[in-house]
Structure 1
Amino acid sequence: MENKKTSSFDKVLGAWDILVIAFGAMIGWGWVVSSGDWINTGGAVGAAIGFAIGGVMIFFVGLTYAELTAAMPQCGGEHVFSHRAMGPIGSFICTWTIVLGYVSVACFEACALPTIITYIYPDFLQGYLYTVAGFDVYASWLIVAIVVAIFMTIVNIKGIKTAAMLQTILTVIIGAVGILLIVASVFTGSADNLQGQVFASDTSPLHGILRVALVTPFFFIGFDVIPQAAEEINVDLKKIGRILILSIVLAVVFYALIILAVGYVLPNSEILASLSGSGLVTADAMAKAFHSSIMAKVLIVGGMCGIVTSWNSFLMGGSRAMYSMAESYMIPKFFAKLHPKHKTPINALYLVGLLTVLAPFAGREMLVWIVDAGNFGCCVAYCMVAFSFLILRKKEPDLPRPYKVGPYKFVGVMAVLMSGFMVACYLVPGSGATLVWQEWLMAGGWVILGAVFFVVCRVRYKEKFGSLVEIISDADAATLQASDRDLDLALDNAIEAAIEAAIATVLNEEAAKQL
């Protein structure tokens, strides 16, 4: 069942806005805390190559997103793609899994931000409350998490343009801090520091590179936020696809250069010492590059900005994915309500915002389990979008595609294989990303909740369940209205002519009787 309407959203996002939304989503806190592990696993050069390989894997998935987003620029992204290709059941599974990914990351960032403050101010933790899964929860930690969660929700309710402005400011800070480290490493680092850590020393170079490549795709999750906000983008459709791909390329370059900069500044012995100490190898590299401990804190602030940009992007994506499901009556219609002034999915934002407020009470370790389950959900959605890309090329070959991928069969198959590989990493024991039982419990709980929504909404909304709303332009809407008016006029004329003919027939019969 399909119906058409004009968009209820305001088109306010420019090219720069969507670029920083996607790039900011991919650049979180990992580049600050995980660079030492990456170098230790694959070597400085090997880890950079590993990220390039991981970027290629995501690149194929990104190409499918680029074509589909430009062809169907509608809120919900994955929801619309999978519905057109697989129908309502496939769409429900795809969208529900991506919502898990978005919501879980947003909740995790609510815990990550106050945790990072403790790196800058060790005395920040005050007022011990309780311990969850080995993580101590303090009153000060909880207050900061809740206040920022409320602030982030309000920013997103105020409108996506407001959220994009915040994203721009924070992404510029991240970029500036990253560039400072990269440039400083060129002048204060030394090629001698790379000795013994060009590639991993405890294994073959290829094995070390592949071990890094295996985990890198999970650091690129976030480019898919662009399709979620497609109705709010005021950019030529062909450019949307290009910007999406550009955001992936920039993220790959950023990660690779940060890894090389750290390896160029810190020898292997100092990286190992940093790993056993604070664990913030990138911050320690910044301190050494500038010969100042203050600069380490500056870099940590840049990492904090990365947390907020990821949080901001996934709050946008999660609320709009829920809105699109509610529009199709797959979850309660309550979540399809837009703010009368700001045109944001207010009830969906209230729910996601409430979850980010409550999340810190569960402690950081439990949130790690949730976010791993959420990343698994994102990868499942990627795989389904890649399949949708191939299906729609067969099913709707004449669909207008402003951004069209050339060798679509090769790209589509590679995207399916790459995303399928990421899904397999979570399933196969020993892959380095296998879900633990607690994470399976989280994923299973989400599946059960989805099944409840599916059954209840199908019973409640009946034939409306799974209906796809097609967004049309104002010009097309005017044409349809004109067509409807013409049809109504023609119908009225036909009815009037029929009545006149019937009256004439009756009069003729009466006249015949009198004769």
Structure 2
Amino acid sequence: MSGAPAEPALKRGVTGPGYFALAFGTIVGSAWMVLMGEWVAPAGPGGAVLAFLGMTLLMVPVAAAYAELVARVPRAGAEFVFVEKAFGPWPGFVTGWYLTLYFVGISAFEGLALSWFLENLIPSLSGQTPLYTLLGRPVTAMDLMVGLAGAAIMTLLNASGAKVAVGFQKIVTFAFLTASALLVLLGFAQGDISNWQPLFESAQGRSFGGGMFVMLGVAGMWLSGFQNAASAVEERAPGTSFGTVARAMMLAVAVAALFYSLIILAASSLAPWRDLTTGALPVAAAFDHALAGGLATNGIILVAMASLLKTWNAMHLSATRVILAQARAGFLPASLAHIDARTGAPRRAALLVGFWTCLGVLAGRGAISPIISMGTMCTTAIAAVALFALMRLRAMDRVVPAFALPGGRPLLMAIAVGATVVASAAIATPFGISESMPVEIWLMLGWLALGGLLVMAQRLLIGAPAPQPA
């Protein structure tokens, strides 16, 4: 790859637990608290559990395929470097630029969601006079204060190096798993499994088969995110093998599916599951059956906020690495590839991610729906492209890497086709909802145009060399 003549090194120190924390911490954020009703409504609690456990059969091999990509191209930047290596600089740039949009967009989403959770935790904070209205939603001083403060903290963590950022990630992830285990035990201890009935039935007037089809797509989306561990491959601690990274990502998918399944059953045992399909915080409402006085609601909100922070941190770290990789390749200014000598971190890239996150926070809660829609399209499409990149890399280099996806070409082709179907559904969904060109599509086209202009400006005004193949 082109860029600075002498490439600085990222500081190594991420071990197996750190990769697990990055992978699991991104898969499981705070959606389980807000979207529980949307998970059980299509096919009942039994259908939701079947969907998550069934989709694990696809997502674990996908995680193994990513582990092979990491072993073949062990560089920061994840899908950007995989696609650039397989298909050339410009396909790599388009992939990396949309990957940047996904990471930064979700980082902004976490800042906006954090403010909303805080309002639910402390109701007196709600009802503030809006500072302005954007995208049809008011933006308050608290929205900005919480979101911008969170962005500053995440920027500080990631500017301090992977050791600090991943250390924070491990603490929050394993604390979350402990708290989640207690929540599940409480749900089963205080609940009644008769509330699961009917275990397999749609609350939306669908057939059970139609509801399961919907839930399989939902499960595929909410079991994604393990890819973030690939962003930190260049920072593996000495002695941490590619097999360790692979096991961490695959285990993260399995543990996430188990968590989702158990929290669905625990919440559904505390109240008739159809009650979960109404209300803003259905899990908290269900647990209030076990602990009176709002203690359950407040406790679960705190757990969800902690979970949100780990997802935010992982997204910021991944965004920083993909910007670093694009700068190394000559698409972004070479200064963004600078590594701080003391911390071994790409501090300038981390600051840029923080700045872009703040811009997203300024857009307010009206940006949440477009962010989620764009993020879904980006992450599903990029995952499919990455799997086809693996096919290409195998054809280019017959040497078996330190870790390889078992099953050969048939399994790789099967999961690539499955990922393509999921991506196609994600891209088609906004068109089915909107009567005209969806706003998300306009935003994504504008983002691509902005990236092209930045690359052209760098080449024309700064005299940077044209990007070259890896």
TM-score normalised by structure 2 residue count: 0.92
Name which of 217, 222, 234 aligns with 1:219: 222
Map of 2:200 onto structure 1: 198
Q: What does residue range 1-150 of structure 1 map to in structure 2 within 5 Å?
A: 8-125=9-126, 126-150=128-152
Task: Name which of structure 1's ranges 150-159 and 259-268 shifts more when overlaid on structure 2.
Answer: 259-268
The separation in 2 between residues aligned to 1:122 and 1:283, in whole angstroms, is 15
Is the 1:188–1:265 Cα contact (8 Å) retained in structure 2? yes
Is the 1:28–1:306 Cα contact (8 Å) retained in structure 2? yes
Name which of 252, 267, 286 aligns with 2:257: 252
The Cα shift of 1:220 comes to 2.6
The separation in 1 between residues aligned to 2:130 and 2:87, in whole angstroms, is 51
Is the 1:70–1:401 Cα contact (8 Å) retained in structure 2? yes
Q: Which runs of 5+ in 1 are unaligned?
A: 469-515
Q: Cα RMSD (Å) of the superposition?
A: 2.3
Q: What does residue range 112-511 of structure 1 map to in structure 2 within 5 Å?
A: 112-125=113-126, 126-201=128-203, 202-234=205-237, 235-272=240-277, 275=278, 277=279, 279-291=280-292, 293-398=294-399, 400-429=400-429, 437-457=438-458, 464-468=466-470
The separation in 1 between residues aligned to 2:207 and 2:130, in whole angstroms, is 46
Aligned-partner SS, 1:288: coil
- Higher gyration radius (CA): 1
The separation in 2 between residues aligned to 1:292 and 1:413, in whole angstroms, is 53
Aligned-partner SS, 2:88: helix
Question: Which amino acid counterpart does residue 406 of structure 1 have in structure 2?
Answer: P
The Cα shift of 1:430 comes to 8.0
The separation in 1 between residues aligned to 2:451 and 2:387, in whole angstroms, is 22
Aligned-partner SS, 1:428: helix
The Cα shift of 1:118 comes to 0.8
Aligned-partner SS, 1:136: strand
The Cα shift of 1:255 comes to 1.1
Task: Name which of structure 1's ranges 360-369 and 198-207 shifts more when overlaid on structure 2.
Answer: 198-207
Aligned-partner SS, 1:168: helix
The separation in 2 between residues aligned to 1:94 and 1:132, in whole angstroms, is 29
The Cα shift of 1:34 comes to 0.6
Distance 1:189 1:26, change over 3 A: same
Deviations 1:21-62 (A, max 9, x none): 111111111110111221112200101111223333333322
The Cα shift of 1:7 comes to 6.0
Is the 1:323–1:336 Cα contact (8 Å) retained in structure 2? yes
The Cα shift of 1:367 comes to 3.4
Q: Report the number of matched residues.
A: 463
Task: Name which of structure 1's ranges 42-51 and 287-296 shifts more when overlaid on structure 2.
Answer: 287-296
The separation in 1 between residues aligned to 2:108 and 2:429, in whole angstroms, is 27
Aligned-partner SS, 2:332: coil
Question: Which amino acid counterpart does residue 419 of structure 2 have in structure 1?
Answer: S
Distance 1:60 1:454, change over 3 A: farther
The separation in 2 between residues aligned to 1:74 and 1:347, in whole angstroms, is 18
Is the 1:458–1:465 Cα contact (8 Å) retained in structure 2? no
Is the 1:156–1:349 Cα contact (8 Å) retained in structure 2? yes
Question: Which amino acid counterpart does residue 357 of structure 1 have in structure 2?
Answer: C
The Cα shift of 1:131 comes to 2.2
Task: Name which of structure 1's ranges 2-11 and 359-368 shifts more when overlaid on structure 2.
Answer: 2-11
Question: Which amino acid counterpart does residue 18 of structure 1 have in structure 2?
Answer: Y
The Cα shift of 1:433 comes to 8.2
Question: Which amino acid counterpart does residue 373 of structure 1 have in structure 2?
Answer: M
Is the 2:172–2:307 Cα contact (8 Å) retained in structure 1? yes
The Cα shift of 1:432 comes to 7.5
Is the 2:2–2:329 Cα contact (8 Å) retained in structure 1? no
Is the 1:326–1:336 Cα contact (8 Å) retained in structure 2? yes
Distance 1:360 1:464, change over 3 A: closer
Is the 1:61–1:418 Cα contact (8 Å) retained in structure 2? no
Distance 1:221 1:86, change over 3 A: same
Task: Name which of structure 1's ranges 284-293 and 362-371 shifts more when overlaid on structure 2.
Answer: 284-293
The Cα shift of 1:73 comes to 1.9
Distance 1:252 1:293, change over 3 A: same
Aligned-partner SS, 1:59: helix
Aligned-partner SS, 1:289: coil
Question: Which amino acid counterpart does residue 212 of structure 2 have in structure 1?
Answer: I
Distance 1:349 1:15, change over 3 A: same
Aligned-partner SS, 2:394: helix
Aligned-partner SS, 2:288: helix
The separation in 2 between residues aligned to 1:163 and 1:432, in whole angstroms, is 40
The Cα shift of 1:415 comes to 2.7
Aligned-partner SS, 2:224: coil
Question: Which amino acid counterpart does residue 311 of structure 1 have in structure 2?
Answer: W
Distance 1:60 1:350, change over 3 A: same
Task: Name which of structure 1's ranges 447-456 and 331-340 shifts more when overlaid on structure 2.
Answer: 447-456
Aligned-partner SS, 2:131: strand
Question: Which amino acid counterpart does residue 222 of structure 2 have in structure 1?
Answer: F
Is the 1:127–1:140 Cα contact (8 Å) retained in structure 2? no
The separation in 2 between residues aligned to 1:376 and 1:271, in whole angstroms, is 27
